Amino acid sequence: MTLNAKRVRGRPAGTLFDLGSIRPRNGGRPGARMTTFLRGKRLFSLRRTSAAMQSYRCSSQTSGKQRVNGVDLYYERNGAGEHAVLLLPGALGNTKTDFQPQLKALNADLFTVVGWDPRGYGQSRPPHRDFPLDFFERDARDAVDLMRTLGFVKFSLLGWSDGGITALIAAARNPEFIDKMVVWGANAFVSPQDLDIYNAVRDVSKWSAGMRAPMEAVYGARLFAQTWEAWVDGIAQFVHRPEGNICIDLLPLIRCPTLIIHGEKDPVVPSCHPHFLHKHIAGSRLHLMPEGKHNLHLRFPEEFNRVVEDFLGAEPKER
């Protein structure tokens, strides 16, 4: 359902915002064999072995590390459903800070839910996180290759904030692997207004202790502050590109059913961004949450999970 609600009012540059708490169709299971697959014109061979995954299992829950593209990526997996779903976290985010209500509460009979820590984040360290101009493309490659290495032939994407941008790129680059996609708090370009917002929250010492605590628990206070500043510099690179482009040119390539969710009280992502995505992703749906902020899936997990489950479980319409 699409809700009609008024747009978020603009905020002046330099305002410090309340961000809220910072945080198959495949039943395939990994086996001890080499998987080879083609992406575009590049051939990938990835070894899948139980020992390499260094995992432990408790009921349907699995946690471990998997070697992907030269990095040991941490992941958590829950459920035994036929529909595989990958959760893509926001900036500096990880399974611990960003997606516990989804990992624990999405229907485990219908879905196999995988959360991961992108390279340099959370428990996927080393390496040290850096932000070259292609860092979203790199995360998209890692995300898809992780799921393929874990044995999933086709899967859906749930991407929040930076993870939403990563999901958009992954879906555009890999249409043959992506079933459906849900994104929220995501943007395909960076405007001068966006840059003002990012710079307003650059100094984490101005955040409330409650906002800093989850990230400081993962990184420590000093590394968190340093990595966050590096992220602000990394995202600012895009404002110098034509139209502030991150992935505008890729949106027409997205072919999977796509749901865009937006919290109308989001102080980080102006409402122009979800409407832009909706306009440029063919057949997409836009769902507005009038009381939602940037972390709407954490503030309103029951409503969010219900909307997501309904969308993922619905039969796709002809496009």
Type of residue at 124: S
**CA 277 to chain centroid:** 15
266 is catalytic: yes
Neighbours of 7 (CB within 10 A): 11
Catalytic residue among 262, 273, 294, 297: 294
**Inter-residue contact 163 to 89 (CB < 8 Å):** yes
294 is catalytic: yes
Catalytic residue among 266, 271, 273, 297: 266
Catalytic residue among 63, 161, 271, 284: 161
**Inter-residue contact 3 to 277 (CB < 8 Å):** no
Task: Cite the active site residues.
Answer: 161, 266, 294
